Homo-oligomer: A and B are copies of this chain.
C-alpha cells in the first residue's frame, strides 16, 4: 500500500456534546454540527444573533473591513424554535471574499500564520485562501454553537461572561470575587468589552497605533462562569481545566490558558494562594478565589475563572521576510487584503462560546456531586 499522502484533521471536540466545525474562509460556506444537545430547548434566534454580532467584523476601525452578515441557516436539529434531539447543523454562506488578495501566499507563507504548516501537511492541496480552515472566520460557527449552549446554560442559572483583559500593555481590571449575570450583560452590551471604560480608551489607542504602523497587537481575555455546582469534573486528565484548555487552544491565535492565579500563582507562597474555607448561608465557600473555582480538576462552587493569551494577528501590512516555496529562495512579503490590527476583542465572545460548550458537555455527564 502506498503511503497516505495526507492526513487527519480534527475540528471537533466534546464527549457527550460533540461540536464539529467545518468550512474554509473563502469556500462556499462555513458551519457547525452540534450532536447531543438536550431536546426541547427553546432557542431565541434574536438573542443568538445578538451574540454573533459581538464577534462580527466590519463594525469599526478596530477590525477588518470585511463585511459579513453572519446569519446562520439551521438545516437540522431545530423544529418550531426548539431543539428536537437530532444533531443541529447551522450553515453560514460566505460572501464578500477577495480571494485574489491571497494568491501570493500559496508560495510565500506569511510569518506567524499557518500557511507554511498547512503547506507541509497537505501539500499543494490546502485551500488557504483567506486563511482557509485556519481562519478566524471559523469562529463564527463556533459562536453559533456556543450561543445556543449559553442559552441552555442560562436557563439553569449557569452564566458565562468574558471581557478583554489587556491589549499590549494596557490592562483592564479583573472580575470581582463574585461576578453576576448582570455584570456579564453590561460588558457584552459594550462596543469594546471591558469592565473599566478608562482601560478601554488606552486599549483602543494601542490598537489604532498598531494599525497606523501597519502592525497588529495581542491581548488577553478573562472569562468567568457562575452558577456551576461543586463537584463537576474528574481527577487528573478529565478535569475541568484539561477539557477547557483542550478546547480553548482551538481558537485561532490562543497561545496560553491559565486558571485562577495561573502563572502569577507560581510566584506566590501557599499561604497567599490557598483559599480559606468559610461558611456563608450554611454553604461552604472560599474567602478568596485564587484557585479560579477549581481544585484537583473539580469545581469548588466558586466562580470559574480563566484567562487566555491571544497573540498579535500575524497578517500585517509591514514588509516581512519569508521564503518562496516554489523557488526555495528568500523572499519579501507584504500582506495585502483586509486585516484585523487586533483580534483579541473580537475573540471575547468566542472564548465565552467555547467555555459554555465545554461546561454544558460536562454538566450533561451529570457527574457532579449535587444531584
The 10 listed contacts between A and B (C-beta, < 8 Å) are: A4-B38, A8-B364, A20-B35, A22-B86, A39-B125, A79-B127, A85-B122, A109-B277, A122-B369, A273-B314
A318 to B276, CA, bound (A): 12
Chain B contacts of A279 at CB under 8 A? 323, 328-330
A296 to B336, CA, bound (A): 20
How many copies the complex holds: the figure is 4
Chain B contacts of A132 at CB under 8 A? 84, 86
Chain B contacts of A313 at CB under 8 A? 270
A39 and B123 contact, CB distance less than 8 A: yes
- Please judge, given known A-B contacts A250-B236, A276-B321, A313-B270, whether A263 and B84 are in contact too, CB under 8 Å: no
Chain B, Cβ-Cβ closest to A28: B75
Chain B, Cβ-Cβ closest to A42: B125
Q: Is A370 an interface residue (CB 8 A)?
A: yes
Binds B, one of A54-62, A172-180, A188-196, A212-220: A212-220
A235 to B23, CA, bound (A): 12
Q: Is A355 an interface residue (CB 8 A)?
A: no
Q: Is A186 an interface residue (CB 8 A)?
A: no
**Shortest beta-carbon distance from A262 to chain B in Å:** 4
B259 and A258 contact, CB distance less than 8 A: no
A264 to B241, CA, bound (A): 21
Q: Is A150 an interface residue (CB 8 A)?
A: no
B255 and A265 contact, CB distance less than 8 A: yes
Interface string of A21-38 (1 = CB under 8 A from B): 111100111110101111
Chain B contacts of A20 at CB under 8 A? 12, 18, 20, 33, 35, 87
B113 and A238 contact, CB distance less than 8 A: no
Q: Is A366 an interface residue (CB 8 A)?
A: yes
B371 and A3 contact, CB distance less than 8 A: yes
Chain B contacts of A250 at CB under 8 A? 236-237, 239, 242, 297
B8 and A310 contact, CB distance less than 8 A: no
Q: Which of B38, B265, B371 contacts A312 (CB 8 A)?
A: B265
Q: Is A91 an interface residue (CB 8 A)?
A: yes
- Please judge, given known A-B contacts A85-B9, A121-B368, A265-B312, whether A76 and B23 are in contact too, CB under 8 Å: yes
Given contacts A123-B369, A242-B245, 11 further A-B contacts (CB under 8 A): A8-B36, A11-B35, A16-B367, A22-B88, A31-B89, A85-B126, A121-B367, A245-B257, A255-B261, A270-B318, A273-B311
**Shortest beta-carbon distance from A313 to chain B in Å:** 6
Question: How many A residues have CB within 8 A of the partner chain?
Answer: 173
**Shortest beta-carbon distance from A51 to chain B in Å:** 20
Q: Is A268 an interface residue (CB 8 A)?
A: yes
Chain B contacts of A236 at CB under 8 A? 9-12, 21, 133, 138, 250
B237 and A241 contact, CB distance less than 8 A: no
Chain B contacts of A215 at CB under 8 A? 269-271
Chain B contacts of A297 at CB under 8 A? 114, 249-250
B295 and A234 contact, CB distance less than 8 A: no
- Please judge, given known A-B contacts A39-B6, A117-B299, A279-B323, whether A218 and B366 are in contact too, CB under 8 Å: no
Q: Is A230 an interface residue (CB 8 A)?
A: yes
